C-alpha cells in the first residue's frame, strides 16, 4: 500500500506512521507543541532559532507536496530552552487546504501526526480577511470560536465531540498576558479558492463572524478530537470583500504576513514556554 493510499484508507494509521518517522529522524522520543504556519507566517518561526532537524513534508508518510504560494512544505523540529524548561516544537511550514480538492484527510494529517508524535498543544496560524471593521491589516487576532460554512468535518461515524472549548480559553489567557493588546474574534471557515462576495461577507457579519479564511477549522477539530489543546491565531492580511471596495489578491495576503512576521515570531517565542 502506498503512502497516499494509507492516508485515505486508514488516516490515523498514516498519522502514526508519520509520527514514528518524525521520532526516528529527529531523535526526539516526543514533541510537546506543534505549529502550523499559514500564508505569510513562515518567516515568523525564525524567532525560534535554528532547527535541529528539517525535511520536506512529502518525505513522510501521508504528506502531499505543497501547491500554494507561501507554503514551503517543510517540517522542522526545534529545541526550546526557556524559563527552566526544555521543550521540543514541531513546525509545519504550510498546509493543505480543502480547495485543493484532495479531500479532508490531507488537510488534517499534519495535526494528527503531531499529536501522535506527542504534541499536547497545537498552534494553528492563518492569514484571513477582516470582517469586523475594527480589525486592521497586519493585526493578529486570537480565535475564540468559529463558524463553519463548508459543512466538512474530519470526523465520521458516530464520533460525537464537544467543541465548546475547542479554542482553549486557558491558552488564550496566557497569550494575552504576553500581549495585552491582542483581541479575540470568531473565525468563519470558507472553502475557497474564490474569495467571498460582498453579500456573503454581509451574511457572515450578520451571523457574528469577525474573520474569514480558508483553513484552520478542520485541523482544530481533528486535533481537539485527539485530546490536544488548540490555539488559533489569525493575521488580518486584508479587509474582507466589500469592506473597502478594493479587490482581493493572494499577493496582498503574503505581503501583509511578511510585514508582521517579527511581531508574530516574538509572540510565539515568548508564549510557548508559558503554556507548559
* pLDDT attached to residue 71: 47
pLDDT at 252 over 70: no
pTM: predicted TM-score of the whole model, two decimal places: 0.93
Contact between residue 65 and residue 109 where contact means Cβ atoms under 8 Å apart: no
Which residue in 204, 214, 222, 240 is the catalytic one?
A: 214
pLDDT at 177 over 50: yes
Q: Assess whether 224 carries a catalytic annotation.
A: no
Contact between residue 30 and residue 88 where contact means Cβ atoms under 8 Å apart: yes
Q: Assess whether 71 carries a catalytic annotation.
A: yes
* pLDDT attached to residue 41: 80
Which residue in 4, 43, 72, 100 is the catalytic one?
A: 100
CATH of 3-275, one of 3.40.50.1580, 1.10.3720.10, 3.40.80.10, 3.30.300.20: 3.40.50.1580
Q: Assess whether 203 carries a catalytic annotation.
A: no
pLDDT digits (tens, 9 = 90+) for 231-246: 999 999 887 655 665 6
Which residue in 8, 47, 99, 183 is the catalytic one?
A: 99
Q: Assess whether 168 carries a catalytic annotation.
A: no
Q: Residue-wise over 142-162: b if at least 16 C-beta within 10 A, else e?
A: bbbbbbbbbeebbeeeeeeee
* pLDDT attached to residue 145: 98
pLDDT at 248 over 60: no
Q: Assess whether 127 carries a catalytic annotation.
A: yes
pLDDT digits (tens, 9 = 90+) for 178-232: 999 999 999 999 999 999 999 999 999 999 999 999 999 999 999 999 999 999 9
Which residue in 77, 126, 168, 238 is the catalytic one?
A: 238
* pLDDT attached to residue 65: 80
Q: Assess whether 78 carries a catalytic annotation.
A: no
Q: Which grid cell is 274?
A: 508559558
- 95 three-state secondary structure: coil
Contact between residue 76 and residue 91 where contact means Cβ atoms under 8 Å apart: yes
pLDDT at 162 over 60: yes
Q: Which grid cell is 41?
A: 507566517
- 240 three-state secondary structure: coil
* pLDDT attached to residue 239: 75
Q: Assess whether 178 carries a catalytic annotation.
A: no
Q: Assess whether 189 carries a catalytic annotation.
A: no
Which residue in 4, 72, 183, 250 is the catalytic one?
A: 250
Contact between residue 102 and residue 64 where contact means Cβ atoms under 8 Å apart: yes
pLDDT band at 138 (very low <50, low <70, confident <90, very high): confident
Least confident of 13-27, 32-46, 75-89, 92-106: 32-46
Contact between residue 235 and residue 125 where contact means Cβ atoms under 8 Å apart: yes
> Who has greater pLDDT, 242 or 51?
51
Amino acid at each position: 500500500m502506498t503512502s497516499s493510499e494509507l492516508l485515505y484508507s486508514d488516516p490515523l494509521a498514516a498519522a502514526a506512521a508519520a509520527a514514528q518517522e518524525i521520532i526516528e529522524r529527529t531523535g526526539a522520543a516526543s514533541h510537546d507543541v506543534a505549529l502550523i504556519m499559514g500564508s505569510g507566517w513562515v518567516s515568523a518561526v525564525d524567532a525560534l532559532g535554528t532547527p535541529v532537524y528539517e525535511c520536506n513534508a512529502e518525505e513522510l508518510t501521508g504528506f502531499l507536496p505543497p501547491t500554494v504560494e507561501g507554503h514551503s512544505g517543510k517540517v522542522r523540529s526545534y529545541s526550546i530552552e526557556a524559563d527552566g524548561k526544555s521543550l521540543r516544537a514541531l513546525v509545519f511550514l504550510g498546509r493543505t487546504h480543502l480547495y485543493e480538492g484532495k479531500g479532508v484527510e490531507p488537510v488534517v494529517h499534519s495535526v494528527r501526526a503531531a499529536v501522535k508524535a506527542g504534541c499536547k498543544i497545537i498552534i494553528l496560524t492563518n492569514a484571513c480577511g477582516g470582517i469586523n471593521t475594527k480589525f486592521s491589516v497586519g493585526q493578529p487576532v486570537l480565535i475564540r470560536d468559529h463558524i463553519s460554512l463548508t459543512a466538512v468535518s474530519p470526523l465520521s461515524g458516530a464520533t460525537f465531540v464537544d467543541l465548546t472549548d475547542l479554542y482553549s480559553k486557558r491558552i488564550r489567557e496566557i497569550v494575552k498576558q504576553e500581549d495585552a493588546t491582542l483581541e479575540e474574534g470568531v473565525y468563519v471557515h470558507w472553502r475557497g479558492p474564490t474569495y467571498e462576495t460582498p453579500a456573503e461577507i454581509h451574511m457572515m457579519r450578520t451571523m457574528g463572524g469577525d474573520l474569514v479564511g480558508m483553513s484552520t477549522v478542520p485541523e482544530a477539530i481533528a486535533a481537539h478530537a485527539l485530546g490536544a489543546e488548540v490555539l488559533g491565531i489569525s493575521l488580518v492580511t486584508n479587509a474582507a470583500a466589500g469592506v473597502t471596495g478594493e479587490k482581493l489578491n493572494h499577493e496582498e495576503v503574503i505581503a501583509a504576513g511578511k510585514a508582521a512576521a517579527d511581531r508574530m515570531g516574538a509572540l510565539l517565542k515568548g508564549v510557548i514556554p508559558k503554556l507548559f
